[in-house]
Amino acid sequence: MQLKINILGIESGGKPVVFLNKADADEIGVTASGRVILKVKKGITAIVNVATKSVKKGHIGITEEVRLLLGSVPSTIDVEISAFPKSLQFIRAKLDGKKLLRNEIFEIVRGVVTGNLNESEIASFVTALHIHGIDLDEATSLSLAMVETGKQLKLGNKIIVDKHSIGGVPGDKTTLLVVPIVAAAGLVIPKTSSRAITSAAGTADRAEVLMPVSMTYDKMKKMVRKCNGCVIWGGALDLAPADDIFVKTEYPLYIDPLLLPSIMSKKKAVGATHLVIDIPTGRGSKVKTISEADSLAKDLIEIGKRLNIHTHCVVTYGEQPVGYTVGPALEAREALEVLMNESNVPDLIDKACSIAGAIFEITGKKNGYALAKDIIRTGKAEAKLQRNN
């Protein structure tokens, strides 16, 4: 069917969405949340919203996502119904409790990234993973699929380090210390971080008090080459974009079945060769007991081996806030005061030096804890942070 294009000037959350008049939708044979193909050179699959008044018969309303995909927007376009994506049968298989193969998982992740799967279909997949679980083979395949459907940071360095925290502890501004400490020692650490999910402030929120955290892929690469490291908001990039979509689905459901691939895909995407993961443990944290922490650590280390990332896990005390402050501005101030040697916060300094020290030791440096503490004492970490600003 040939339809006239109306540019609506609205965004649809990253997915290609079009609006059809109900009469045209009925004639094409598509319903709301169904799919149509826009017949251009490569063909664009879009999810359909049906309108009765806002879009006239013979017209198609396109969102900004579709406009960008079209590039040069023609006045009219051929539209026809699209078959349901093959990935739906794989989602149904997981709902039935079957193990998914790598090519099946890749098809699902590609559908998520291209917008070919709608919210209810993505939620069904995430729920199936929560109910039936994922084994290490599936977690590895999901990690690789998330990496391969996005951009990858390629710096060319022989050793690239990274750190990650499972999270769940208020006031944990450790990353703001660890990154400049590690970068000041000459190691490359491109740190992408999230905004607040389960606490008052995410690392990106804390860092944004001191420096810009939203930057393009090219600017991030330039920053890392200049300073050996960065702390930026991962949502501004296209590294493992499927992970960001899955997190939006998981959060309102209060489930986290994609924890392992979520962590490891981001680290693989930045090219990490060595990784230290902080697992806060205790009452009130995400991981309640040492046995749970040990089990999680074993799985993370195993997936790290499969992805060629030397992974080391540190189990830390998670029953109380880190430091004296909670909230983005106060936490950023406290971290900066520690780096400037103007404030003594023993638990924060100890945790930061333990994690930075672990990074040093898995990359061949000796006396990692003492080295990290000395880098703070001499002001080298503060100088590195100021240069990254």
What is the secondary structure of 149-211 as a DSSP string? Answer: TSB------S-BEEEEE----TT--THHHHHHHHHHTT-BEEEEE---SSSS--HHHHHHTTS
Three-state DSSP at 46 gives strand
Half-sphere exposure of 278 (CA within 13 A, CB side): 26
Any residues with CB less than 8 A from the CB of 177 and at least 6 apart, and which? 335, 338, 339, 348, 349, 352, 356, 376, 381
Tokens 């001191």 belong to: 210
For residues 28 and 12, what is the distance between their CA atoms, to the nearest angstrom? 22
| The two three-digit tokens of residue 263, written as one number | 């962590």
The three-point CA angle 382-168-187 to 5° equals: 35
Q: Do residues 233 and 214 lie in contact, with contact meaning Cβ atoms separated by under 8 Å?
A: yes
| The two three-digit tokens of residue 304, written as one number | 């790290």
For residues 183 and 177, what is the distance between their CA atoms, to the nearest angstrom? 10
Radius of gyration for the alpha carbons in the chain, expressed in angstroms and rounded: 23
Helix axes 136-148, 102-114, angle to 10 degrees: 40
For residues 57 and 329, what is the distance between their CA atoms, to the nearest angstrom? 52
Our separate counts of H helices and E strands in the chain read 16, 11
For residues 361 and 321, what is the distance between their CA atoms, to the nearest angstrom? 27
Q: Do residues 142 and 258 lie in contact, with contact meaning Cβ atoms separated by under 8 Å?
A: yes
Q: Which of 162, 172, 244, 256 is flagged as catalytic?
A: 256
- Active site annotation includes 96: no
Catalytic residue positions? 256
